[in-house]
Structure 1
């Protein structure tokens, strides 16, 4: 990671996404930190000036070679120092591949297998289960004096 990338990253905001396609979920085997060796949903840190949905699209493409579109918000975790948001990641195009850096492999795994696999952490399993429910929060426009304002509301 370059110094410019380090300086442009908001280390207190991160996102991830659950991409489901034909009964499979896209997972990446992490290569560092507490997730080292685990199969997790792809994601990463928000850059300054980026909205979370843009981060999801960028991180997915960088880490997996797969282009996605951010869908509904599945869950969000807050702490005193940061937040982590998880979206449904709608598959657009691309062949899954490892980035050779942050992950050692990227796989389409059968959803039921992923929910039983010991190398898939609990948070990833919970978010897969939430994505399967097809509920969450939808991006919705609202009336204001400014144009282009949206918020997520439950459905």
Structure 2
């Protein structure tokens, strides 16, 4: 999908070289169509050495077991999005602790998927009945007999074999950047 008209003034967009890349731009105002992007988040919730998974009830991937997740909302911090998605899909309350994996998939809609390690806070897995039709905590051994999606297999492997805790949520940045979600590597102790 591409843009044909300016979302600011409605004028027909023209192709213009901007920074060495051909882009759609408005000849009447400053609007530039930078592309079509999608940002999703996924959760890795582990309880008693078992991973929270959901079985997709809709395409794409209907019938596959995946980690809970979804797409960000315009005015929502991504750590809030992932906690909301886990709660909506499974009834499990969890809190994001770190970013543990990122999948980058360039295509006509450039898709970025950010995976969070989540601290289990409470609740028993119960599917929402719309997006997912089953939910539960499963061991690595149990997953071997399940139809687990490839990306989820990679995420589980990344999480369970991690050498570090990933990018941590920075709740006390050295410089306040109000409204920003900040993530950083662990600070070394002096």
TM range, smaller chain: 0.7 to 0.9
TM-score, reference length from structure 1: 0.83
**1:32-90 CA deviation, whole Å, 9 max, x = no partner?**
22311001000111111001100011111111000000011011123442311100111
Between structure 1 and structure 2, the one with the greater Rg is 2
TM-score, reference length from structure 2: 0.69
Do residues 58 (structure 1) and 88 (structure 2) align?
Answer: no
Do residues 131 (structure 1) and 162 (structure 2) align?
Answer: no
Give the number of the structure whose residues are more often helix, by fraction.
Answer: 1
Mapped partners of 1:14, 1:149: distance in 2: 17
Do residues 26 (structure 1) and 52 (structure 2) align?
Answer: yes
Moved more, 125-134 or 20-29: 125-134
Which consecutive aligned stretches of 4+ in structure 1 deviate over 6 angstroms post-superposition?
none
Verify the 8 A CA contact 1:44 1:56 in the aligned structure 2: yes
Corresponding residue number in structure 2 for 1:154: 185
Corresponding residue number in structure 1 for 2:12: none
Corresponding residue number in structure 1 for 2:150: 122
Verify the 8 A CA contact 1:142 1:149 in the aligned structure 2: no
Mapped partners of 1:23, 1:146: distance in 2: 36
> CA 1:151–1:109 in structure 2 vs 1: closer, same or farther (change >3 Å)?
same
Alignment size in residue pairs:
145
Corresponding residue number in structure 2 for 1:3: none
Alpha-carbon offset, residue 25 of structure 1:
0.7
**1:77-127 CA deviation, whole Å, 9 max, x = no partner?**
23442311100111001111010000110011112332x245112211111
Give the number of the structure whose residues are more often strand, by fraction.
Answer: 1
Structure 1 residue matching 2:84: 3-state secondary structure: helix
Corresponding residue number in structure 2 for 1:7: none
Verify the 8 A CA contact 2:65 2:146 in the aligned structure 1: no
Do residues 143 (structure 1) and 174 (structure 2) align?
Answer: yes
Alpha-carbon offset, residue 150 of structure 1:
5.5
